[in-house]
Amino acid sequence: MVQYWFPHLGHPNGESDVAWFKVVDGHGYRTMGNPAGQSNSACFTVDDAWAYPATSPPGAPPTFEIVGPFVYAPSGLAWFRIERLPR
């Protein structure tokens, strides 16, 4: 299964039904729907319930916390909702 991350209520750009990220084997990539464009290299990694920038040095704080089907920034409402879909 692949995870797709869709902007949700707390996202600064508002909700969207267009996935911005695809997570495969713990690595997150921008999709074609992301305003920054699609990426071939991982933008972030997922470790347990935390998402870290792919270039984070060891011990760096995570960018997001994953709680169930939602992804949260350090404060506020969920920035993304997660859907799991077949590859």
Decide if pLDDT at 19 tops 80.
yes
Question: 66: domain range?
Answer: 2-85
d(C-alpha 67, C-alpha 61), whole Å? 17
pLDDT in tens, 72-82: 998 899 999 99
pLDDT in tens, 29-60: 999 999 999 999 999 999 999 999 999 998 89
d(C-alpha 52, C-alpha 86), whole Å? 24
Tokens of 50: 């935390």
d(C-alpha 62, C-alpha 80), whole Å? 15
Task: Give how many domains the chain has, as a whole number.
Answer: 1
Please report the pLDDT score of residue 1 as a whole number: 80
